[in-house]
Structure 1
């Protein structure tokens, strides 16, 4: 079967790259059907990149490299949380990717098989291509000589680095919203956006936080394909992921404070409106009461025949209303 001609649902090749490396250099590009595991000897290894492969492609890889069926099942189904599983002398990782895309954050998933003589990546969803990682590794033959463990570090570092633009974007948006709070020109749309940002951060944290445990385990694992000399590099990725988690927690606190401040400002504005309405209602209550009294149509109301009664009532109404207006204005209610 010509696996290179197979396309996934996006119309993209399932087999993105398949190459053999030895002594820090790319020796040959091979079709998937030409890959033979026995060629990975004397420090050589295969680096194969797949994008939403079919069962046939995964079965070909499983048969050639002896991958565990449970790991293959996970890689085919996707929608896994970040984790690290050990199968004998091989490891299987699931990492969650994140990147900015209008109107929000989109998440992808990468499954990585690492064993002596191979690194196989399986991408799902809208994750970035690892072509940049391959070029970076190939440009540094000294580090590439480390082999599979260094490539795994480069992949994890690439994923972690893409978390920071997401954080920076949210920080900028939160700062802009906070400036509006200070200016007290908050709108209903911004309150809705605050709530959406809090939800996005919660989702982002659920995707990112399991990566901490993955990095910790990699730093401690004693496996043939992981050189102790590379452990500090995994610690560096762990520091990056920890920094992202701390930033998420800080942003969640900032958003919670901003949301509370927005609610307090909104309540204060409502109180101001209620005070003004109450003030005008009190002013209007006096003439309404007078009009109500003289609108009862009783026959025994002697003052109705008084020559100056109408002018006296109008003067009393104007005087009392003016006094109430003065008092309420001085108290800041109007």
Structure 2
């Protein structure tokens, strides 16, 4: 098996230098394998990191489990691992291709779970093209004595999560189900963190819309935040049903004690979903307010144009009459006739201008 052979060669090289296996950018066990660790009674068992040997030791001892972490494996690579762990044939295709929605599926005595991961993209200034939310995917195969996690995307490293679990041996001793709960809890916590961060962008566009110097270009930023919020909702909302299944329905590997933990995660997910729904409604209100402001501004512009057109119409009318070159016109041959007409035009324009100013048209 090419993957197993590459793992053994990489492990032999790792003896000559210290390597941080939990770091997402380093993969000494192969091109996609990030980590391979055996846990027994909640404690990490240090060994040579060989996947085949780790699984054999766990099954020979009859207790403990092996946790293998991968990052974007190719189908040929994962085929070897699937054969080693006896995964269902459909699992190979599911592991290497991204899924449109989170889900939980049962393959014999194994659970297959898909979570959508999210990450807030920091930006110096919110624009109409700013990326706010980046999404990825976390896949977990959970059996009686193994956990296989697969990440898709450039974020969502599980190194800190693994360290937190290792710091709580009592929880980790509950087996692979405890790892699945920790994964779900980690993903939902990220939902809450990103949701809180997005609130800051919503406040930015809200303040811009209701500020005195708000511009008509704010619509682009509102649509961008709404589009990114929609992407976040697509990751968060569909997870409700899978978590409900894990919390209430009998599942392989998941005991009654762990189901109570999943109910707590489901409560957190409900909070995130409610926040996103409220933010979406708020953005709709902000957009409607912005469009109303644009309409009012356009009406004010039209009133100003109409007022100036009315003022200009007076000299246009008078000059048009005198431009007909009739011989018998009022005061035509009078010395002060021309200044008198100009004075009448100026007085009429002043009166109309003052009336428009008084009515708020100018």
Q: TM-score range with shorter-chain normalisation? A: over 0.9
Q: CA contact under 8 A between 2:120 and 2:134: conserved in structure 1?
A: yes
Residue 51, structure 1, aligned to residue 71, structure 2: yes
Q: CA contact under 8 A between 2:52 and 2:84: conserved in structure 1?
A: no
After superposition, residues 129-208 of structure 1 pair within 5 angstroms as 129-208=157-236
Structure 1 match to 2:98: 78
- The one-character-per-residue Cα deviations of 1:285-334 (angstroms, maximum 9, x if unpaired) are 10111011111223443642233321321221122111111111110111
Structure 2 match to 1:34: 53
Give the whole-Å Cα distance in 2 for the aligned partners of 1:52 and 1:194. 34
Task: Pick the aligned partner of 2:237 from 191, 203, 209.
Answer: 209
Residue 69, structure 1, aligned to residue 89, structure 2: yes
Give the whole-Å Cα distance in 1 for the aligned partners of 2:317 and 2:303. 21
Give the whole-Å Cα distance in 1 for the aligned partners of 2:78 and 2:56. 15
Structure 1 match to 2:125: none
Give the whole-Å Cα distance in 2 for the aligned partners of 1:73 and 1:138. 31
Structure 2 match to 1:90: 110
SS at match of 1:35: helix
SS at match of 2:319: helix
Give the whole-Å Cα distance in 2 for the aligned partners of 1:203 and 1:321. 57
Give the whole-Å Cα distance in 2 for the aligned partners of 1:99 and 1:255. 21
Q: CA contact under 8 A between 2:216 and 2:294: conserved in structure 1?
A: no
Q: CA contact under 8 A between 1:80 and 1:94: conserved in structure 2?
A: no
1:35 deviates by: 3.4
After superposition, residues 1-334 of structure 1 pair within 5 angstroms as 1-3=5-7, 5=10, 12=27, 13-29=31-47, 30-37=49-56, 39-40=58-59, 41-102=61-122, 103-301=131-329, 303-334=331-362
1:66 deviates by: 1.0
| Deviation larger for 85-94 or 175-184 | 175-184
**Stretches of structure 2 lacking an aligned partner (at least 5 in a row):** 12-24, 123-130
Give the whole-Å Cα distance in 1 for the aligned partners of 2:308 and 2:188. 60
Give the whole-Å Cα distance in 2 for the aligned partners of 1:302 and 1:220. 98
1:317–1:267 Cα change, 3 Å: same
Give the whole-Å Cα distance in 2 for the aligned partners of 1:286 and 1:80. 67
- The one-character-per-residue Cα deviations of 1:42-84 (angstroms, maximum 9, x if unpaired) are 3311111111123343122211211111122111122442111
Give the whole-Å Cα distance in 2 for the aligned partners of 1:224 and 1:125. 28
Q: CA contact under 8 A between 2:314 and 2:349: conserved in structure 1?
A: yes
Give the whole-Å Cα distance in 1 for the aligned partners of 2:86 and 2:287. 53
Aligned residues: 331
1:142 deviates by: 1.0
1:224 deviates by: 4.1
Give the whole-Å Cα distance in 1 for the aligned partners of 2:224 and 2:71. 31
SS at match of 2:202: helix
Give the whole-Å Cα distance in 1 for the aligned partners of 2:100 and 2:37. 27
Cα RMSD (Å) of the superposition?
2.0
Give the whole-Å Cα distance in 2 for the aligned partners of 1:236 and 1:167. 18
SS at match of 2:264: helix
Q: CA contact under 8 A between 2:171 and 2:178: conserved in structure 1?
A: yes
**Stretches of structure 1 lacking an aligned partner (at least 5 in a row):** none
Give TM-score scaled by structure 2 length: 0.86
Give TM-score scaled by structure 1 length: 0.93
